[in-house]
Amino acid sequence: MVLHIFFVNFAPLKTAQAMIDKIEKLIVEINGLQASNVGEVESLRIKYLSKKGIINDLMADFRNVPANQKREVGQRLNTLKTIAQDKINSLKESAEAGNIAADKPDLTRTAYPIPLGTRHPLNIVKNEIISIFSRLGFVLADGPEVEDDWHVFSSMNFADDHPARDMQDTFFVEAHPDIILRTHTSSVQSRVMEVSKPPIRIICPGRVYRNEAISYRAHCFFHQVEALYVDKNVSFADLKQALLYFAQQMFGPDTKIRLRPSYFPFTEPSAEMDISCNICGGEGCAFCKHTGWVEILGCGMVDPNVLELCKIDSKEYTGYALGMGIERIANLKYQIKDLRLFSENDVRFLKTFEHAN
């Protein structure tokens, strides 16, 4: 006699039933929710309906449900989400109605004290970058946002047919095609080099403009910080040491860096710098795309052509330059994933940086 043994996996069924039980429990829980103000309503919305909320987590677990039970579980999930959304909307309406009643003007109340505003996250990050480089001896330099082609492109060794000069990348002043909105703060470097003798050690923060579609990851204007050091016997080793110091001061003493070969018209050799992911510590996560590294800036040795164009003897002097986006550093420091938040002046967003250092 042959004995046939069959193994049946009951885990998916258990998972489906567990989800159904959890959904029913959440429906009871959500129906009993209460909130006394708009802030509490927002906290409940985040808890249940945000991308990291409980219901979204259930949606992610839905893929583990067996195919023959997906319809039942899916219908229950949709019902749960509808109930949660209706409940949150109802609580919000009640809270707002209460606020309107509470906000009736009290003519006997003094106008003071007036709540103070908060520092903008980009200013917080910019000032921290400036502070770090000032400890290395760099001084602030500034220049105009409306610039000419020479200081933005030609003096920086851009070829006449370089794509950056095209209309799809640069904002041109229509009546004066040689006048543009600067696309990088390198124009400040060229202005300083034209009128200064080495040693030159400057840091140039400022707003720049590029003709790009506005989205969560791009904007038509943003902010940069560039640094320039020109002197006798400046080497790539000096650049690497400055970059390591900056990374560890900004992101912590355990931060590691790596340099990858790249190309920029104004530096040769050129590199892009990555830091070990400050979220997972280099172990690999969704933020760093499981590589353990995050790109933060471009750098390199100043091209001899740039020195000569700016009237500095390239046989006697060398230098390095680096540049980074302030929004990029702010994203890494505060995990802000939508660039549009930086320019929308939403007081609720800015209020979260009240105690930022």
| Eight-class DSSP state of 164 | G
What's the rounded mean pLDDT across residues 330-339? 82
- The CA distance from 27 to 79, in Å, is 9
Tell me phi and psi for residue 311, to 5 degrees.
65, 40
The pLDDT of residue 134: 95
More confident residue, 293 or 109: 293
Average pLDDT, the chain: 84
The stretch 131-140 carries a mean pLDDT of: 95
pLDDT of residue 343: 84
Element of type H or E holding 281:
none
Specify the range with the lowest mean pLDDT, choosing from 92-96, 192-196, 323-327.
92-96
- In this structure, of 79-88, 100-109, 148-157, 320-329, the range with the lowest mean pLDDT score is 100-109
CA angle 56, 283, 294 (to 5 degrees): 85
Whether 182 contacts 145, CB under 8 Å: yes
Q: Are 277 and 292 in contact (CB under 8 A)?
A: yes
Rounded distance, CA 71 to CA 66, Å? 10
- pLDDT at position 54 is 87
Q: Is the pTM higher than 0.85?
A: no
pLDDT in tens, 14-51: 567 888 888 888 888 888 888 888 888 888 888 888 88
Is the pLDDT higher at 305 or at 2?
305
| Strand partners of residue 215 | 218
Number of H helices, E strands in the chain: 11, 10
